[in-house]
Copies of this chain bind each other. A is one copy, B any other.
Amino acid sequence: MTTMTPPRYNAADLVQFSAHLFEMAGMPSDRALVVGSSLVEADLMGHDTHGLQLASAYLDSIEHGLMTVSGDPKTLSDHGAVITWDGQRLSGVWLTATALDLALDRAKTHGSATIVIRKSHHIGCLAAYLTRATERGCMAIIASSDPSECSVAPFGGKQAVFTPNPIAIGIPTANDPILIDISASITTNGMTARLKHQGQRYPGHWALDSDGNPTDDPSAILTDPPGTILPIGGLEYGHKGYGLALMIEALTQGLSGFGRADGKASWGASVFIQAFDPAAFGGLSEFTQQTGWIAEACRATPPAPGHDSVRLPGDGALARKRHALQSGLQLHPGIMDNLAPHAERLGVVMPSPR
């Protein structure tokens, strides 16, 4: 039996390829390029469930009329420092990148700016947007929830109310940025499906079965009626993850004015995007002096048993990105296979490995 090493691609070729796919599917070319490069950025960072893996699902969505390819978001309110958009089910990847860029522009004027989006299509990998902010010397927070889904129970309960509710934070320092990407739940739907597929267990009691009993079995989430994923803190102090979940529900669905109260049929992600310009507060160099000091203090912390070193969030992703840009990007084998029919249908030539 031989194991085939997955081929390596030039990242630029994958960006061009995926952008071409979305363009041929009807998206304006500049927008298609934002979507393609954001998906490849996620792969470069190692978030391989939220990179090009999503492209075939997005192309399916376009084909079935579930993602709008052209037109602009509808501005529901604009007060300078805060903006509310109806995303019109446009690409969430494009909406999020565009909203963050706009929030950064507005933060240069107002010090901080917040944009919330209702009825966005799926926004992909939250961490992949953060360097848009940190490269401009700004801090950004992105959070998202999906009112049409739920898999996470409130603390003390045994039925799902929330999505995992991711939140990502980009923090500039004098050197590499800190890139945080976490969720209010212990684990995610994607990780649950992957562990179940691999016949593995959660590393701890991260879920409840449908009777509310703690379990490390990912298949307990997928029964009928389903079990639930626990908020961070789990059985011991799950009120903390529960609090974060509620905060993110309020920031995304509350502020955008669209969410679970509108019923499950009302599909669409709700998104919160916030930018801070440190120059408008205590100063950019004062900001990076503090964040750089903290980053170095963490890296210099003696490791606990079982750890080689203390890393900063984003260190691993940035190292993977540098390596993949130099040596080529390896994709999971199934990704290109899933895109091949779309490429054929849309008349797009598949990229060659380097």
Contact = CB atoms under 8 A, between A and B. Distances in A.
B159 A243 contact: no
Contact of A304 (B212, B259, B282): B212
Contacts of A251: 139, 276
A318 interface: no
Nearest to A208: B304
Contacts of A293: 259-261
A71 interface: no
A244 interface: yes
A78 to B, nearest CB: 9
A12 interface: no
A7 interface: no
Among A84, A255, A304, A309, the most chain B Cβ lie within 10 Å of the Cβ of A304
Contacts of A178: 246, 250
Interface in A260-314: 260-261, 276, 278, 280-283, 286-294, 297-298, 301-305, 307, 309-313
Contacts of A257: 278, 281-283, 286-287, 289-290
A304 B211 CA distance: 7
B282 A76 contact: yes
B182 A239 contact: yes
A331 to B, nearest CB: 25
A116 interface: yes
B261 A290 contact: yes
A240 B232 contact: yes
Nearest to A279: B77
Contact of A180 (B139, B232, B243, B282): B243
Contacts of A247: 141, 169, 171, 180
B111 A254 contact: no
A256 interface: yes
Count of chain copies: 2
A333 interface: no
B171 A246 contact: yes
Given A260-B290, A290-B249, A302-B158, A110 B81 contact: yes
A124 to B, nearest CB: 19
A243 B157 contact: no
Interface of A: 76-77, 79-82, 84, 110-114, 116, 118, 139, 141, 153-159, 161, 169, 171, 178, 180-183, 186, 203-204, 208, 211-213, 232-233, 236-237, 239-244, 246-247, 249-251, 253-261, 276, 278, 280-283, 286-294, 297-298, 301-305, 307, 309-313
23 contacts: A77-B111, A81-B81, A82-B110, A82-B276, A112-B114, A156-B304, A156-B310, A157-B301, A157-B303, A157-B307, A158-B302, A158-B303, A158-B304, A161-B298, A180-B246, A204-B236, A244-B244, A246-B298, A254-B291, A257-B290, A259-B293, A260-B293, A261-B290
Given A158-B304, A186-B237, 12 more contacts: A84-B281, A118-B282, A155-B310, A180-B243, A181-B243, A249-B291, A250-B287, A251-B276, A255-B287, A257-B283, A259-B294, A261-B292
